[in-house]
Amino acid sequence: MTSNSSKQLFQPIKVGTQQLQHRIVLAPLTRTRADRQGIPTDLITDYYSQRATPGGLLIAEATAISSKVGRPKFAPGIYNQEQLAGWKPVVAGVHAKQGVIFQQLWHTGRTFAPTANDTLVSASAIPIPGVDPASGKPYPTPTALTIPEIKTIIQEFAQAAKNAIQAGFDGVEIHGANGYLIDQFNNTSSNQRTDIYGGSIENRARFALEVVDAVVAAIGAERTAIRFSPYYGFQGMHDENPLATWTYLTQSLQSSHPNLAFLHFIEPRTNIRTDDTVYAVESESLDAFRSIWKGPFVSAGGYSFDPHVAFKVAEQSSNNLVAFGRSFISNPDIVHRLRHDYPLHPYDRKTFYTAGAPGYTDYPTFAQEQQKSSL
Ligand SMILES: Cc1cc2nc3c(=O)[nH]c(=O)nc-3n(C[C@H](O)[C@H](O)[C@H](O)COP(=O)(O)O)c2cc1C
């Protein structure tokens, strides 16, 4: 039987306070299976527990940090006692299998309003370009946050991080990617402020770095991580000089918080709306950021289609980890499959954001697939 156990992907690595046994990570995936109040359901406990492995890192789905943050229907929150209590069995299920779980902390900014009557907020009063396919109308224009409002949101990130630790999570990943609030500050297309949070790279990056400072002060650097997507145009993101912007962010974190649990970057070739690996601009790469950051470096995007790329990425440096999104949805036992070179089960895009078990907790393990085919 083929075994990849001796490969770098299966070598232990220390991440924050945790000793991991391999480097295959569950990427954060919104799956809309919480209840209307954003409280995790039993189904969510099953889902994460199915994907837990001894010393394996799971990053739980994007989770709203406050009641003032808009979120998709049935996406979870971590801002009240009921939600916090709802997360406890989820975390306990992962820990029972000696797994490690971080929570992703989310402020959606201009992408979602908390209720139909609330206004959207962002770095500047700039809407997502184009027409919202849901309404058939142009995306609404957000209001630009004031400096006191920015300071409040920074404290909300810190409080949500404390809540996550109280629920039992091993750490948090700040969502700084994919066109949500932090990304809206980082990118020139959505940030045209003229105060200390806009203009120069230093000013645009200030919000992200202050959120990291506050979360580190609340729960410690070794329990804190952040995710970025420098080259991903999702939800209207565009930066005039992504290499310079995220080089500055990475350098700043390396000098101010070298003990962060990890930095997480999305590969430039990612497009979650298509079912293949998209090379928008071949020359774009995460290498510059990898070479600056000395701690654990997680990358995600496209490995779902060719896991052998993940093996290669892991070989390239002693501190690389790789996260799988879509293939981890459809392969609860992906770690086992990659260890033995077993084929991956295809995912069903139609059930990404639906309700209930179908396409969520009913994907077979390799052993179950084999059993079925031998009947
Ligand atoms: C259904 C779905 C939900 C996602 N939700 C999130 C999320 O909550 N937070 C986040 O940072 N990225 C999210 N992503 C992006 C994934 O974390 C990952 O970066 C992306 O799927 C690329 O990896 P893959 O090619 O292995 O799928 C989502 C992607 C998918 C397909």
Mean pLDDT split into 10-residue runs, the chain, 375 residues = 89 97 98 98 98 98 96 96 98 98 98 85 97 90 97 98 98 98 98 98 98 98 98 91 97 98 90 66 82 97 88 95 97 97 95 97 96 81
The tally of CA atoms less than 13 A away on the side-chain side of residue 360 is 22
Q: Are 168 and 93 in contact (CB under 8 A)?
A: no
Query: What pLDDT is stored for residue 284 in this prediction?
Result: 79
For residue 32 and ligand 1, the question of a CB distance below 6 A is answered with no
For 330, residues 6+ apart whose C-beta sits below 8 A from its C-beta are: 344, 345, 346, 347, 348, 363
Q: What are phi and psi of 20, to 5 degrees?
A: -85, 155
User: 3-class SS at 176?
Assistant: coil
Q: Do the beta carbons of residue 270 and residue 304 sit within 8 Å?
A: no
- 375 CA distance to ligand 1 middle (Å): 35
CA of 266 to the centre of ligand 1 (A): 9
Structure tokens at 28: 């954060």
CA–CA separation, 247 and 4 (whole Å): 34
Report the catalytic residues. 180
Among 214, 203, 30, 202, residue whose Cα is nearest residue 123:
203
**Across the chain, where does the E strand assignment appear?**
13-15, 18-20, 24-26, 57-64, 100-106, 121-122, 143-144, 171-175, 224-228, 262-266, 297-300, 320-324
pLDDT at 277: 62
Instruction: Answer whether 227 contacts ligand 1 (Cβ < 6 A).
Output: yes
- Residue 300 in 3-state DSSP? strand
How far apart CA 301 and CA 202 sit, in angstroms, is 27
The finding on whether 62 has its CB within 6 A of some atom of ligand 1 is: yes
DSSP state of 152: H
At residue 103, the pLDDT reads: 98
Task: State the Cα angle at 317 between 315 and 318, rounded to 5°.
Answer: 100
pLDDT at res. 276: 66
Q: What is the pLDDT of residue 134?
A: 83
Phi and psi angles of residue 64, each rounded to the nearest 5 degrees, phi first = -65, 135
Quick check: helix, strand or coil at residue 308?
helix
12: which DSSP letter?
-
Q: How far is it, in rounded angstroms, from Cα 182 to Cα 204?
A: 9
DSSP 117: T
SS3 assignment, position 296: coil
> Which neighbouring-strand residues pair with 64?
77, 106
Amino acid at 63: T
Residue that has been written with the tokens 């004031």 in this structure: 146
Q: What residue's CA is closest to ligand 1, atom 29?
A: 29
Backbone angles phi, psi at 173, to 5 degrees: -115, 120
Q: Which two tokens stand for residue 282?
A: 């071949």
Q: Across the strands, what pairs with 236?
A: none
Taking alpha carbons only, the member of 94, 98, 25, 29 closest to residue 58 is 25
Q: How far is the CA of 178 from the centre of ligand 1 (A)?
A: 9
Q: Which of 48, 264, 303, 326 to mutate for ligand 1's pocket (most ligand atoms within 8 Å of CB)?
A: 326
Q: Is the CB of 325 under 6 A from ligand 1?
A: yes
Q: Which of 24, 25, 26, 29 to mutate to test the pocket of ligand 1 (most atoms within 8 A of CB)?
A: 29
Measured between alpha carbons, how far is residue 55 from residues 11, 12, 92, 133, 245 in Å?
11, 8, 14, 41, 33
Kindly report each contact of residues 230-233 with a partner whose C-beta sits within 8 Å and lies 24 or more positions away, as own/partner.
Answer: 230/265, 230/268, 230/286, 230/289, 231/266, 231/268, 231/280, 231/281, 231/284, 232/177, 232/178, 232/179, 232/266, 232/268, 232/270, 233/280
* The pLDDT of residue 135: 86
Dihedral Cα 236, 239, 243, 246, nearest 10 deg: -80
Residue 310 confidence (pLDDT): 93
Query: What is the fold of 8-374?
Result: TIM Barrel (3.20.20)
- Helix or strand or coil: residue 259? coil
**φ, ψ dihedrals at 58, nearest 5°:** -110, 135
